Amino acid sequence: MTDPLRLLLADDQALVRGALAALLSLEPDLEVVAEAATGQEAIAAVRRLHPDVALLDVEMPDMDGIAAAADIRQTSPGTRILMVTTFSRPGYVRRALEAGADGFVVKDAPARQLADAVRRVHTGLRVIDPELAVESMIAGRSPLTEREADVLRAARDGAPVATLAHRLYLSEGTIRNRLSSAIGKTGASNRAEAVRIALAQGWL
């Protein structure tokens, strides 16, 4: 009998993480060997255990799942990465795949379907929720440059330009230029709306 696939689950919601662990552990060929509540915890656990598959939530504190996926791809190339999310934002799929993820599914998928996605990803297949794949293709690439996206991320809390400049070690003029460009590219009327649009599309 072959050894079960060793899984890491990373999700900041303890109830969701526990439910996923319980459901996946019912499968005889799957074993949850670690759980994490943040991106940094997930990275540390992968470096320590090198699981076969890491299931990462997209939205987590301290480091989101997409950034964690990029780190894991570099430090543990043998670990396959399956992104699991509640939010069907089309930009997430493209960003996750570019970061090195092997699959992308939604949390409300049936347990058997999720377990099958784990197995398929482990064999080297790419698994993407069909609806998310279509939405991602329709939406296309983010129009924002990485620097414009950085400024919008920093502006999520409505901080003034001077504060953003201090946070990002840039001049106030550069911040204003990048905000103006991002507002134009998103079709927004102001930076708060630009942030909302970019978040809704999964560009940040």
**Segments making up each domain of the chain, as ranges:** 5-137, 146-201
pLDDT at position 66 is 92
DSSP state of 153: H
Q: Return the H-helix or E-strand segment holding 1.
A: none
| Chain-centroid distance, C-alpha 167 | 23
pLDDT tens digits for range 114-123: 999 999 999 9
Q: What is the CATH number of domain 146-201?
A: 1.10.10.10
Whole-angstrom distance, CA of residue 39 vs CA of residue 45: 10
Residues 6+ apart with CB under 8 A from 96: 58, 65, 66, 69, 83, 104
CATH 3.40.50.2300, domain 5-137, yes or no: yes
How confident is the model over 172-183, as a mean pLDDT? 92
The band of 5, judged by pLDDT with boundaries at 50, 70 and 90, is very high
Task: Return the higher-pLDDT residue of 1 and 84.
Answer: 84
Least confident of 122-136, 160-174, 189-203: 122-136
pLDDT tens digits for range 105-163: 988 888 888 999 999 999 999 998 877 666 666 556 788 888 999 999 899 999 999 99
How confident is the model over 26-42, as a mean pLDDT? 95
Provide the 10 A C-beta neighbour count for residue 45: 20
pLDDT at position 160 is 92
Provide the 10 A C-beta neighbour count for residue 98: 12
Give, in order, the Cα–Cα distances in Å from 123 to each of 5, 8, 199.
11, 17, 33
The band of 41, judged by pLDDT with boundaries at 50, 70 and 90, is very high
pTM of full prediction above 0.95: no
Residue pair 62/169 in contact (Cβ under 8 Å)? The answer is: no
